[in-house]
Amino acid sequence: MFESITIRDLVIRPALYLAPMSGVTDTVFRRLIRRVGGCGMVVSEFTSSEGLSRQAQRSLAQLEFSHEEHPIVGQIFGANPDRLAEAAEIVDELGYDIVDLNLGCPAKKVTRCGGSGLLRELPLLETILKRMRAATRKPFTVKIRAGWDDKEIVACEVARMAEANGVEAIAVHPRTRLQGYSGNANWDIIRDVKQAVKIPVIGNGDVRTVDDAFRLKEVTGCDAVMIGRGALANPWIFRQIMERDTREPVRDVSLADRHRLIRDYFELLVEERNPGAIGKMKQFASHITTSIPHGKELRTAIHHAQAIPEILDRVDQFFERVESRGDPSPYMSSVV
């Protein structure tokens, strides 16, 4: 079911995407996901086209990536056709494999200048799609929400518009802007988009377990599945999906695996000299520890640490204590 997806001449194997998440899916996290295995495509944090057009250091830093991350999508947002065209050229020149336009972010500060706000400005959006398509030689894709609210569900209309203007694939998160991340994702909208267009459709939303990924694909007929928050708690989810898809035994994730992953992530942050390393360590701990016995103890220890060596020591000491207690392996609800 997840063997591959083809966008123009780019074959993505397997047909599994890491979703873009602001403040999370930076180069370090993407490299971590690549090293765990099973993910066919990673996506950058969405980056401001206005910042890129001004060559702002923060915006350029958000688009840094390493060779091991290929294939990789560079995602941008904005509402000015000229700035978005310039930004598409920059993403192209930086060596990304695909240029993507974010039409899904529900944050107020983004909707005022793009994101899901453009789903209420379809004439402007069509102009933007034309300009961006002309500006890049790379495959061009978009990521959308269902619409602004339940009275303005425009996913199929936007998908047809995108296809007519040279967009080569579309990712659909079937919540509205007003829903944010509350309630349930309406997978029927992904199915409707798949039936409305011929370009590849990537389904996204509420994929927390391996079973969820298979159900989403079966229910909607989408060409690939994109996973965001589910990969924060379980970065092994892509590998586990592929193990099931190829009828291999789905490997459990041991305490040692989790210890090694946390250490690897923290050490990558140090190697990159990330100025916000301590904050990112604490953020990562809040997600990954949810499936570790006595994980609250580890979260508390990390959150109260003041320096990187202290954090690393506390991680090692925690796992030594837990292993000495003889606790069972972490729960496996992520693979049922």
pLDDT at residue number 326: 66
Residue 330 lies in a domain: no
Do residues 99 and 51 both lie within one domain? yes
Do residues 95 and 215 both lie within one domain? yes
Q: What's the whole-model pTM score?
A: 0.94
Closest by CA position to 227, among listed 56, 2, 20, 47 = 20
Q: Are strands 10-12 and 5-7 parallel, antiparallel or unpaired?
A: antiparallel
Do residues 267 and 240 both lie within one domain? no
Q: Which helix (H) or strand (E) holds 19?
A: none
**Chain centroid, CA 317 distance in Å:** 31
Tokens 């899904």 belong to residue: 104
Structure tokens at 88: 């598409």
Residue 335 lies in a domain: no
Which of 199, 221, 245 is where one domain is finished?
245
Whether 329 contacts 255, CB under 8 Å: yes
Structure tokens at 242: 């592929």
Tokens 């409707």 belong to residue: 192
- How many distinct helices (H) and strands (E) make up the chain? 15, 11
Do residues 188 and 274 both lie within one domain? no
Q: Which helix (H) or strand (E) holds 75?
A: strand 72-77
33: exposed, middle or buried (C-beta count within 10 Å: 0-12, 13-18, 19+)? buried
Do residues 240 and 283 both lie within one domain? no
Q: Are strands 41-43 and 47-48 parallel, antiparallel or unpaired?
A: unpaired
Residue 76 lies in a domain: yes
Which residue type sits at 89?
A: E
pLDDT at residue number 327: 56
Do residues 179 and 282 both lie within one domain? no
Do residues 177 and 263 both lie within one domain? no
Closest by CA position to 168, among listed 242, 224, 227 = 224
Residue 331 lies in a domain: no
Alpha carbons 315 and 309: distance in angstroms, whole number: 10
* Prior bond of 309 cis (ω within 30°): no
Through-space distance between the first and last CA atoms of the chain, rounded to whole angstroms:
17
51: exposed, middle or buried (C-beta count within 10 Å: 0-12, 13-18, 19+)? buried
pLDDT at residue number 323: 84
Residue 333 lies in a domain: no
Q: For the chain, how many structural domains are there in total? A: 2
Do residues 281 and 310 both lie within one domain? yes
Which residues on adjacent β-strands are paired with residue 16? 225
Residue 101 lies in a domain: yes
Alpha carbons 90 and 84: distance in angstroms, whole number: 10
Phi-psi region of 308 (alpha: psi -120 to 50; beta: other; left: phi over 0): alpha
Which of 245, 267, 282 is where one domain is finished?
245
Catalytic residue among 105, 113, 156, 222: 105
Do residues 20 and 97 both lie within one domain? yes
Q: What is the DSSP string of 187-234?
A: HHHHHHHHHH-SS-EEEES---SHHHHHHHHHHH--SEEEESHHHHH-
Query: Is 156 among the residues known to form the active site?
Result: no
Q: Which helix (H) or strand (E) holds 73?
A: strand 72-77
Mean pLDDT of residues grouped by 10 in the chain (336 residues)? 97 98 93 97 96 92 95 97 97 98 91 92 97 98 96 97 98 95 95 98 97 98 97 95 96 92 94 89 92 91 94 95 68 39
Which of 245, 266, 296 is where one domain is finished?
245
Do residues 13 and 79 both lie within one domain? yes
Sign of CA dihedral 83, 145, 130, 67: positive
Residue 62 lies in a domain: yes
Domain membership of residue 62 as a residue range: 5-245
Do residues 192 and 288 both lie within one domain? no
Closest by CA position to 101, among listed 114, 86, 82 = 114
Alpha carbons 208 and 227: distance in angstroms, whole number: 8
Residue 336 lies in a domain: no
Q: What is the DSSP string of 123-144?
A: HHHHHHHHHHHHH-SS-EEEEE
CATH number, domain of 105, equals 3.20.20.70
Do residues 225 and 311 both lie within one domain? no
